[in-house]
Amino acid sequence: MQSPLARIVAEPIDEAEVMAAVSDPECGALVMFHGIVRDHDGGRGVSALDYRSHPEAERFIAECVTSESERTGLRLAAVHRVGELAIGDAALVAAASAAHRKEAFDAIETLVERIKREVPIWKRQHFSEGLSEWVGL
């Protein structure tokens, strides 16, 4: 198995690249997760997000993807975007492929939860009323 796709990027995520990284003719299921910037949080309107990462964040995301791929035996990929994101932008795109859908769904859920928990990325929420706050510090 080739080295999994696991990156931190400042530009819009190439979703086709993430999908291609896990595509395999032996797999009957390919599940993709798109973490999209939404326009609200906790009852407040959100106008934008600003993501910042630790200089070694890419090593952390690669560790998550690689270890989960080794644990499950599945093809996995994940790309997280940093910088200023607008409502509707993809902040995280992750994918898993497997012979059957349950394996792929379970793997993508575990991978996304690990990334959120272990990769040092913080977000600043910009609210509609002009205030902002950091999340995850």
Query: What DSSP letter does each residue of 102-116 carry, written as one string?
Result: HHHHHHHHHHHHHHH
pLDDT, position 100: 96
State the Rg of the chain over Cα.
Answer: 15
Residues in the chain, total: 137
24, 97 contact by CB (below 8 A): yes
Residues of the chain with pLDDT under 70: 1-2, 137
- Residue 73 CA to residue 109 CA, distance in Å, equals 15
> Angle at Cα 119 formed by Cα 121 and Cα 95, nearest 5°?
105
Q: Which residues of 40-76 are buried (b: 16+ CB within 10 A; e: fewer)?
A: eeeeeebebbebebeeebbebbbebbeebbeebebbb
Q: What is the pTM of this model?
A: 0.94
Per domain, the residue ranges of the chain are 5-35+56-120
State which fold the 5-35+56-120 domain adopts: Aldehyde Oxidoreductase; domain 3 (3.90.1170)
Smallest CA-to-CA distance from 57 within 83, 75, 19 is with: 83
- Residue 48 CA to residue 44 CA, distance in Å, equals 12
pLDDT, position 9: 98
Helix (H, G, I), strand (E, B) or coil at 65: helix
pLDDT digits (tens, 9 = 90+) for 59-87: 999 999 999 999 999 999 999 999 999 99
